[in-house]
Homo-oligomer: A and B are copies of this chain.
Amino acid sequence: MKLPLGYRYSAVYAGIRKVRKDDVALIVPDAPASGAAVFTQNRVQAAPVRIARWNLTKSRGLVSAVLMNAGNANCATQTGDRVALACCDAVANHLHVPPVQVFPASTGVIGVELDAHLIVNAVPDLVAGLAPSGFEDAARAILTTDTVMKTAHSQVRLKGGTIRIAGMTKGSGMIQPNMATTLGFVMMDAAVPPAVLAAMLAAAVKRSYNRISVDGDTSTNDTMLVLANGASGIQPNQKESKKLEEALTQVMEDLARQIVRDGEGARKLVTIEVSGASNEEAATQIARSIANSLLVKTAIAGSDPNWGRILSAAGNAGVPLDPNKVDIDLQNVPVCRGGLAADFSEPDLKKKLDESECLIRFVLHGRGQGAARFWTCDLTEKYIEINASYRT
């Protein structure tokens, strides 16, 4: 699928990672783009999160460059703000744009000083390497414990022509975004004012990045940025904006699902569908509680149709729940009806649970219509292995 018009990308190895693998990347729209972003709700926030929020406010939502690095979160560091500002300045100087139009984002280990020189010295090469074809290089440069590159594309046909959307993301552990994500960058070539873009992003993030969890931990660096540079020459009207928002949501849902599928140590992508709750928020809370239950996640890992754990996890969601009105299906097989065991073949279902995708359907026969989808993964020994020695 074709990339959005009017963006160039590049990535180089600046020496931040211990292994020789690109660790800084740059995204540059041909002209300043509208930008909208959401950030982590963690009370501990990395320097680039603070600076990105500040810059976006000062520039009134204009972005001329996105500077990303992996290997160091630039969080809980003495020199954090100075480092982030120095890096933005270097990019601004080389591109001849205002520093506040540079949007920084970092990911990696927390509490280790980031050497600004590494990035500043890499900026000339980064700028020299900018090309429309650098999209995947940039997408790969931001990965940490991820095992696969994560990108998604879409296009929307409007009266004036076609809008293209492309996104990249990273993330595998410390995943339970709250109004934001790990790192995610979505580019589109529509002309959309920053305020409209921010509303689109808010709606899209709610049903994509805010509906996933690998391990229930929200990081200090979560950042989700959407850019709209107008390079297509098309300015959607109000009705078309809705269509664009739908496409943006699709791309972000696609990216979010890729994160969970690549969850640390995960072998299975688990989709949880809750319906019949009093409202969407209650449905989401129930789904999130199921998604974060270690006992549910380990049962899925073991292909064990232990629906009692699903029911128990739902009971801990903090929302009213009448267990006698609960139906649960696993892989479309009824396992619980009215809060009681349904009659099913355990060997057959175990085989179905061996598949790489699992579907948990949780229906509350209440009076409400609240529904939500949520994604998680199974919890395997490999997660422990990865995280018991992340830094060494």
Chain A residues with a Cβ under 8 A of chain B = 42-45, 73, 75-78, 109-113, 173-174, 215-220, 292-295, 298-299, 301-302, 304, 306-309, 311-317, 319-321, 323, 336, 339-341, 379-381, 383-385, 387-392
Contacts of A385 in B (CB 8 A): 381
B216 touches A308 (CB 8 A): no
Contacts of A302 in B (CB 8 A): 387-389, 392
Q: Which residue in chain B gives the minimum CB-CB distance to A265?
A: B384
Q: Which residue in chain B gives the minimum CB-CB distance to A293?
A: B217
Known pairs A111-B340, A304-B392 / 9 extra A-B pairs, C-beta < 8 Å: A42-B315, A44-B321, A44-B339, A76-B341, A110-B306, A111-B307, A220-B312, A294-B294, A295-B387
Contacts of A174 in B (CB 8 A): 295, 312
Nearest 7 CB-CB pairings of A with B: A110-B308, A302-B388, A44-B315, A298-B387, A111-B308, A381-B381, A43-B315
Docked Cα-Cα span, A45 to B78, in Å, equals 50
Docked Cα-Cα span, A140 to B306, in Å, equals 26
Question: Pick the contact of A44 from B323, B379, B391 — CB < 8 Å?
Answer: B323
Contacts of A173 in B (CB 8 A): 295
Docked Cα-Cα span, A316 to B178, in Å, equals 10
Shortest distance from the beta carbon of A385 to any chain B beta carbon, whole Å? 7
Q: 14 interchain pairs (CB within 8 A)?
A: A43-B314, A43-B315, A43-B320, A43-B323, A44-B321, A44-B339, A76-B323, A173-B295, A216-B294, A217-B293, A217-B316, A220-B315, A294-B383, A380-B388
Of the candidates A42, A45, A317, A384, the one having the most CB atoms from chain B within 10 angstroms of its own CB is: A384
Docked Cα-Cα span, A301 to B293, in Å, equals 20
Contacts of A317 in B (CB 8 A): 43
Question: Pick the contact of A390 from B42, B293, B299, B339 — CB < 8 Å?
Answer: B299
B308 touches A387 (CB 8 A): no
